[in-house]
Structure 1
Amino acid sequence: MTPSTPIRGATVDIGPARADEHDRIGRLTAGVYTAEGFASPDYAQQLADVAGRADRAELLVARDGDGRVVGSVALALTDDFGQVTEADDEAAFRMLVVDPAARGQGLGEALVQACLDRARAAGKRRMLLSTSPEMTTAHRIYERLGFTRLPERDWSPVPGIDLRVYAREL
């Protein structure tokens, strides 16, 4: 776990998720994505399956001053879980979420930065992510952190769902 970090007036810990936090991460991720119109019922089940992705990705969480999980992201360093990597020196992250009650404090950026730091330390040269066109708030975070569109890697996991790919050199 990283030491407590002040982020826009709040103190948070960014670090690996514990198994006892999986239920909270699943409820938070599926709940937010569903409430904001970003998840079909099938995808909501995948979002809730934290144990399933913990086997394929490094789960990072943001914990508030009370130790409560207020954000999460799945970092894929060695697996195709990111679904957009094409080379061993690429990493990806997915399922970034911040509790709506904790937004505006920089938690999304802090989680992305933790992914970038871990990927760089693992010797990766590029970070990738895919996002729906409607996730405009997330796009602003990614662009602020130096990500640019990589349209040649755009893809559709299922018919009718088109995802945009962003990349950043590390």
Structure 2
Amino acid sequence: MVDVPALPAVRIEHATAEDHAAIAELTVSVYVGGGLAGPDYGVELADVARRAELAELLVVRDEADRLIGSVALVLDGDFGEVTESEDEAAVRMLVVDPSAQGRGIGALLMTECLRRARAAGKRRMVLSTSTAMTAAHRLYERLGFTRLPERDWSPVPGVDLLVYALDL
């Protein structure tokens, strides 16, 4: 487990329907606008209402109550796409506002997801990430995740996803 730095006045909470537009804008901006995903995936990234139906959608708000991060925690169902058993949880679509990056927001969200997965009785957290998301790879490795190359996959031709896992 990695030490998460103290963050001034940020809080994690469940997303509300009123947050969906801001989450969609942030996620599409970071993933598609940042060259981490293609425009076709932008449609799925923007469909926050569906994501909220299939996962526990968490957000981080800063001291000004501004939404600066989000993640989908998958405790059951197939939205995880990389889970292989009921013992596994997954995270999807982790995003941090570029103005808040480097402050530990991603680590805070991931640590909360790990805590919630343990509390739900899960034995492993899995996730997939694109080969281009090198900053995310470093975060996952700092948190203790290791690669599961035998589970790497490609949702569409030309998009290669790496799978990471952490035993809980």
- TM-score w.r.t. the length of structure 1 is 0.94
Percent identical residues: 63
Output the CA distance in 2 between the equivalents of 1:9 and 1:164. Answer: 30
Within the candidate set 98, 107, 123, 1:100 is matched to 98
Contact preservation (8 Å) 2:7, 2:104: no
1:32 aligned onto 2:27 = no
Deviation, structure 1 residue 65? 0.8
Where does 1:131-146 land on structure 2 (aligned, <5 Å)?
131-146=129-144
How far residue 159 of structure 1 moved from its aligned partner, in angstroms, is: 0.8
Q: What are the equivalent positions in structure 2 for 1:92-131 lying under 5 Å apart?
A: 92-131=90-129
Q: Which residue of 2 is the match for residue 20 of structure 1?
A: 18
The match for 1:81 among 76, 79, 82 is: 79
Give, in whole Å, the separation in 1 of the partners of 2:154 and 2:21.
28
SS in 1 for 2:9: strand
The Cα shift of 1:134 comes to 1.2
Q: Which runs of 5+ in 2 are unaligned?
A: none
| One-letter identity of the residue aligned with 2:123 | R
**Cα separation, 1, equivalents of 2:61 and 2:77:** 26
Q: Alpha-carbon deviation of 1:7?
A: 4.8
Q: Distance in 2 between matches of 1:33 and 1:169?
A: 27
Between the aligned partners of 1:87 and 1:99, the Cα distance in structure 2 is 32
**Which residues of structure 1 form unaligned runs of 5+?**
1-5
Larger RCO, structures 1/2 (Cα 8 Å, 6+ apart): 2
Query: SS where residue 54 of structure 2 aligns?
Result: coil
Secondary structure at 1:47 match in 2:
helix
Q: Which residue of 56, 64, 71 maps to 2:54?
A: 56
Report how far residue 53 of structure 1 moved: 0.7
2: CA distance, partners of 1:150 / 1:7: 28
- Of residues 39-48 and 113-122 in structure 1, the stretch that sits farther from structure 2 once superposed is 39-48
One-letter amino acid of the structure 1 residue matched with residue 26 of structure 2: L
Number of matched pairs: 165
Q: Does 1:168 align with 2:160?
A: no
Q: Aligned-pair distance for 1:9? A: 4.8
Aligned to 1:10: 8
Residue 154 (structure 1) aligned to one of 152, 155, 161: 152
Task: State how far apart, in whole Å, the 2-side matches of 1:136 and 1:39 are.
Answer: 13
Distance 2:65 2:42 in 1: 25
> What residue is the counterpart of 1:67 in the other structure?
65
Deviant stretches of 4+, over 3 Å = 6-9
